[in-house]
Amino acid sequence: MKALGRHVLAEYFNCDKELLNDPQKLEQFMQEAAKKANATVVSSSFRTFEPFGVSGVVIVAESHLAIHTWPEYGFAAVDFFTCGDTSNPWKAHEFLKSVLKPSHTEEKEVLRGVLEIEQFHFKPSFIRHKQKNNSAAYH
């Protein structure tokens, strides 16, 4: 069955509570997970909530990765959504699982955009161009 994208939904149980409340580490891990999935990182945004918890998203050219944590329970809910045929959301999941070290996980894959089309035409990859201020511009 052909689909525009693959969406892996994962739940991580009994993770390190301090790590689940560290937005900088989580952002670093999620960006690395995107790279492990062969996805192109475009941007990211992570926020800490009071008294605790982090929500964050990594936008990739192929879609997104998102995480929401409940440190008080050692729990994280994670989405790995990639479109196209060059990235693999399961590789992102395996990497994140290796660094968050949950006691166990539950995951499932949902195909997104299952259409009755003979051949899909995916969006072209972003091309990075260095600007004068050394930030990457995407086209």
Domain enclosing residue 16, as ranges: 5-138
Question: Residue 121 and residue 51: Cα distance in Å, rounded?
Answer: 45
Told to judge if 63 belongs to the known catalytic residues of this protein, a careful annotator would answer yes
How would DSSP label each residue in 70-124? EGGGTEEEEEEEEESSS--HHHHHHHHHHHH--SEEEEEEEEE-----SS--PPP
- Alpha-helical regions (H) of the chain: 23-36, 89-100
| CATH code where residue 80 lies | 3.60.90.10
Give 54-74 pLDDT, tens digit per residue.
999 999 999 999 999 999 999
What is the structure's pLDDT at 113?
87
Question: Residue 134 and residue 81: Cα distance in Å, rounded?
Answer: 29
Residue type, 114: V
Question: Residue 94 and residue 78: Cα distance in Å, rounded?
Answer: 12
* Higher per-residue confidence, 130 vs 28: 28
Question: Residue 72 and residue 15: Cα distance in Å, rounded?
Answer: 10
Catalytic residue chosen out of the listed positions 7, 15, 44, 83: 83
Give 4-61 pLDDT, tens digit per residue.
899 999 999 999 999 999 999 999 999 999 999 999 999 999 999 999 999 999 999 9
Has residue 126 got a pLDDT over 80?
no
Catalytic residue chosen out of the listed positions 15, 44, 63, 64: 63
Told to judge if 15 belongs to the known catalytic residues of this protein, a careful annotator would answer no
Task: Give, as one character, the DSSP assignment of residue 125.
Answer: P
Q: How many domains does the chain have?
A: 1
